[in-house]
Amino acid sequence: MRPSQTKIIKRRIDCRKHVQNLKILIESSSWNSASAQTPVFSRNVPNPCPTMLFLVLLHLSSLNTIATQELRIGGLFQDEDDEAAFLLATHIVNGKHPDSPLRLVHDSHLTRDHNTFTAYTKTCNLLEKGVVGIFGPSSVYSSAFIQTLLDRKEIPHIETHWDRELLRHNCLLNLHPHPSILTRAFLDLVDQWGWKRVTVLYDDEESLARLSLFASSYRHWLTLRRLYLDSHGTYRAVLTGIKKAGETNFVVECSVEVLGEVLKQAQQVGMMTERHNYVITNLDMQTVDLAPFQFSGTNITGFRIVNPDSAYVEEIAQKIYGEEVQTGWNLRVKTALIIDAVELFYEAALDLTLRERFVIRSYPLLCNATNNWDSGHTIVNYMKGKTVTGLTGVVHFDTEGFRRDFVLDILELTPDGLSKIGSWDSGVGLTISRPKIFEAPTADEASLVNKTFTVITCLTTPYGMLKETTAQLTGNDRFEGFGIDLIEELSQMLGFNYTITIQDDGYNGDYNWTTNEWNGLIGAIIGGKADLAIADLTVTAERESAVDFTLQFMNLGISILYKKPKPVPPSLFMFVSPFSYTVWLLLLGTYFVVSLCFFVMGRLSPSEWTNPFPCVEEPEYLINQFSIRNSLWFTIGSLMQQGTEIAPIGISTRTAAGVWWFFTLIMVSSYTANLAAFLTVETLVTPFSNVKELSEQTEIKYGAKRGGATANFFKNSGDDSVRSKIWKFMLAHDEEMTENNEEGAERTEKEHYAFFMESTTIEYVVERRCSLASVGPPLDDKGYAIAMKKNSSYRNELSAAILKLQETGRIAALKEKWWKEKRGAGNCGGRGDEAAAATPLNLQNVGGVFLVLFVGTVLGFIISVVELALRIYLDTKKRKGCFRKEFVKEMKFFVRFKKNVKEVESSKCHDEEQRNH
């Protein structure tokens, strides 16, 4: 039990009277470092309290140790507890490493009332003393101003307070959990309780700012109410108004100084009943005395980041608050963060010195000067990469320098006091070990509290099984499985007791039209042998006419269990598979079109008409290398990545050739890559892919569990030709029917046999029998549920509980446990048997490169025409001929495609001019 709050507060007041005399005690003490005697204090100084005396002794004892280098750190705090924690943390880190080359020297000041000017003055005083880091002030009013100064001076600034506008600064490091991540924790807890309407209570603007992210992220109805003092100095006026509004779910954000009083006055106005629920967002909730509300029946939950039951936390609390404090429940988060911050700073500086051989040199800085320190950024960056375990758990920072990775304990007020009921991890989320889903059950007829049920099940894997152990077990401890765990979850939620029995015949329940009786689990329920039946019990119309079912806890369908598909041998023409038929046809057409384009551009481009006899300066005719045959050879050589002896000369043909080469590069690369996929990925095939194909073949036998819901599904198929055909086969071949699912799985694995089974059971089987797989889609949609007698009064409560388990993900977690983790699961994982098949590339995949080729070819045509026109223009201008006649002559020659030799002669216009001369 924790000590009385009154004694603790009195102890703090007595201690704080002497904190201001700490430096006087140090200065007035006579200390003989050589003899290491106990210090003697001046008679004029009042005797300190045990805590302050302890801290003074720690400080003085540190003077006797010879340190290689002293690093002065400064502190700006609002109260004596934080300052005492700062002094204690300095001694702790120095004591942990007595042989360390570094020692911390503390220098702290109190800055009350959030006075920014005082904080600035004392910061400048610390800078003049050559501090290498400043802790605090933990005030939203003065912290930003001090941060600006320390950023300019490049001095590490370590903060521990909540800051909703926390940004990444050069020299700032805040150990308080990031506000956005805390908001996620609050939202997750409210969602866990299923609240659709919430009233937020806050006491000032700072508290409202803390919950701004929560209010903006909450998806349901939210009301904000400020806790203001009335004329009598109480909160009863606003609380009474809230009570009249009928609100029952509250999120409370206020300081710990007023939290206890708010809850006390809420109790006084009648807001502490079984109908009311509170979530306290203050991480110091554990330091408030909640004993007056332990037996009210109200659900009060909250968070903490400091574990008060830790021996280290208790030791720290005793040294700060005095020996009378024998518990860590009074240690506040801001005080614990200061100790963690000093430890983090020291560990980072020590690692930097020893591992990096970095020399930390400090020197005085003036606020009105432009000089700064040269090692601040290095230390801050090293701190951000450092991980330590302190009073607030693992202190770790992300890449932005924020503390987003942390764990919170979830607390709930019970008649025995605050108890941990779960945790919230920033990486995992909320985990409740004792789900708080319903309000306390009432003692009416429908309540299941303290009732005892007989639960019957079948030994069917994985729903109900005997435990695999050599120990002698009795009662319910003999069994395990999905259904067993589900009943246990319902028992904890609704407060009932149960005894498990086994159905001997192993049948779920089938109606005998001859005797007009039910067998199996359904018969046991009707006969009064059991109150509840849970197994892989399918809900059917026939069964529901005899018993009641809860809400379905698992949905499924009938599917086919068969051997895994086998790889087919590769095709003889697999080399054509990388491209679709459309791409191959388009590629063939493109080849002929581009070849023709080269032929046309070659005739148009003057540069492509060359002298066949290089030794003759004035040849009689010119030839063109881009004939039809050469054009076809040039394009096919490029396409096959082999090249030819033909080299384009003109600008137009070179442009077209470059675009064609780019086209072939992309196409050949795509073909090669996809061909590799086709050669390495095996194509799997099964003899059938659905139930229709199975019914049409005769080589593979098939069956189902005799007398089960799966067999009845085919029996009651009606006019469906495929299902009725399968049922006729089952009737004619009764030897193909099995007594249980295990027998069917074994026959499927060893024989040429297919087995009809529920899809969930198939999932379980294929996780453990690697040669089996599910074939085809489910044939129907149904579910499993818990059976009970007709018109049972507890049906609704069980259904509501199952629905809550589904919403909270608990049923999904149980399925993951028994399907993927227990009893040999995971043996077939990661084998790549179901790898995705390679698919041919179609026009949608390579259409872009065809477009580039088209644009490039058109550009080549345009350039060839311009090139021809420019050559004719220059020739006619030089010889003073007529451009039009020469151009028409060239076009006439161009269309004569059979003529590949061009005579070298002057134009008619030129001949007439010569005759005139």
Check if the beta carbon of residue 146 is closer than 8 Å to that of residue 162: no
Q: Assess whether 25 and 169 both reside in one domain.
A: yes
Q: Assess whether 418 and 477 both reside in one domain.
A: no
For the chain, the residue count is: 917
Q: Assess whether 892 and 904 both reside in one domain.
A: yes
185 located within any domain: yes
- Report residue 242 as tokens: 């809230």
- pLDDT value at residue 849: 73
829 located within any domain: no
- pLDDT value at residue 760: 85
- pLDDT value at residue 343: 92
- CA dist 158 and 147 (Å) reads 9
Query: Which one-letter DSSP state was computed for residue 310?
Result: S
- pLDDT value at residue 24: 41
321 located within any domain: no
Q: Assess whether 540 and 426 both reside in one domain.
A: no
Domain total in the chain:
5
- pLDDT value at residue 917: 45
- pLDDT value at residue 72: 92
- Report residue 292 as tokens: 């007056």
573 located within any domain: no
3-class DSSP state of 21: coil
CB-based contacts of 780: which residues, under 8 Å, 6+ apart?
Answer: 557, 558, 713
246 located within any domain: yes
Closest CA to 57 of 76, 31, 21, 34: 31
CB-based contacts of 352: which residues, under 8 Å, 6+ apart?
Answer: 358, 360, 378, 379, 382
N-to-C CA span, the chain: 131
Question: What CATH number did the domain enclosing 183 receive?
Answer: 3.40.50.2300
CB-based contacts of 741: which residues, under 8 Å, 6+ apart?
Answer: 460, 461, 705, 755, 757, 761, 765
Q: C-alpha 688: how far from its chain's center?
A: 40
Q: CA 664, 668, 669 angle in degrees (round to 5)?
A: 115
Q: Which phi and psi angles does 414 have, rounded to 5°? A: -120, 170
Q: Say how many C-beta atoms besides its own lie within 10 A of residue 826's C-beta.
A: 11
CB-based contacts of 536: which residues, under 8 Å, 6+ apart?
Answer: 458, 460, 463, 508, 758, 760, 761, 784
CB-based contacts of 454: which residues, under 8 Å, 6+ apart?
Answer: 498, 499, 501, 529, 530, 531, 532
Q: CA 476, 482, 488 angle in degrees (round to 5)?
A: 45
Q: Assess whether 148 and 186 both reside in one domain.
A: no
Q: Assess whether 195 and 150 both reside in one domain.
A: no
Q: Assess whether 154 and 194 both reside in one domain.
A: no
Buried-state track 426-435, b at ≥16 Cβ within 10 A, e below 16: beeebebeeb
Does an H or E element contain 774, and which?
strand 772-775
Within 269-332, where are the H helices? 311-321
- pLDDT value at residue 487: 92
Q: Assess whether 712 and 658 both reside in one domain.
A: no
Where in the sequence is the domain holding 276, given as residue range(s)?
A: 179-304+406-432
- pLDDT value at residue 906: 47
- pLDDT value at residue 33: 32
Q: Which amino acid is at 61?
A: S
Burial of residue 359 (CB within 10 Å: 0-12, 13-18, 19+) is exposed
Q: C-alpha 406: how far from its chain's center?
A: 15
Q: Assess whether 543 and 516 both reside in one domain.
A: yes
695 located within any domain: yes
Check if the beta carbon of residue 789 is closer than 8 Å to that of residue 847: no
- Report residue 893 as tokens: 């020659």
- Report residue 478 as tokens: 């003999």
Question: For 666-690, what is each residue's pLDDT tens digit?
Answer: 888 888 887 777 776 666 667 778 8
Question: What CATH number did the domain enclosing 516 receive?
Answer: 3.40.190.10
Mean pLDDT, 10 residues at a time, the chain of 917 residues: 43 45 40 34 41 47 54 89 89 87 88 78 91 86 84 90 73 87 89 88 83 81 86 86 86 90 86 86 89 83 90 84 70 90 91 84 88 87 88 85 88 87 88 59 58 89 86 85 92 88 86 87 90 90 90 88 74 73 85 83 75 69 75 80 77 82 84 76 70 84 84 78 86 87 87 87 84 84 90 88 89 88 70 55 72 78 76 72 70 65 53 47
Region class of 36: left (phi > 0), else alpha (psi between -120 and 50), else beta: left
CB-based contacts of 693: which residues, under 8 Å, 6+ apart?
Answer: 687
- pLDDT value at residue 8: 42
Check if the beta carbon of residue 262 is closer than 8 Å to that of residue 234: no
Q: Assess whether 82 and 107 both reside in one domain.
A: yes
Q: Assess whether 36 and 147 both reside in one domain.
A: yes
Within 211-300, where are the H helices? 212-217, 236-244, 256-268
Check if the beta carbon of residue 587 is closer than 8 Å to that of residue 847: no
Q: Assess whether 201 and 274 both reside in one domain.
A: yes
Distances (CA, A) of 766 to 307, 733, 754, 760: 45, 26, 14, 10
- pLDDT value at residue 302: 93
- CA dist 692 and 29 (Å) reads 98
3-class DSSP state of 4: coil
730 located within any domain: yes
- Report residue 727 as tokens: 């049922």
Mean pLDDT, the chain, integer: 79
312 located within any domain: no
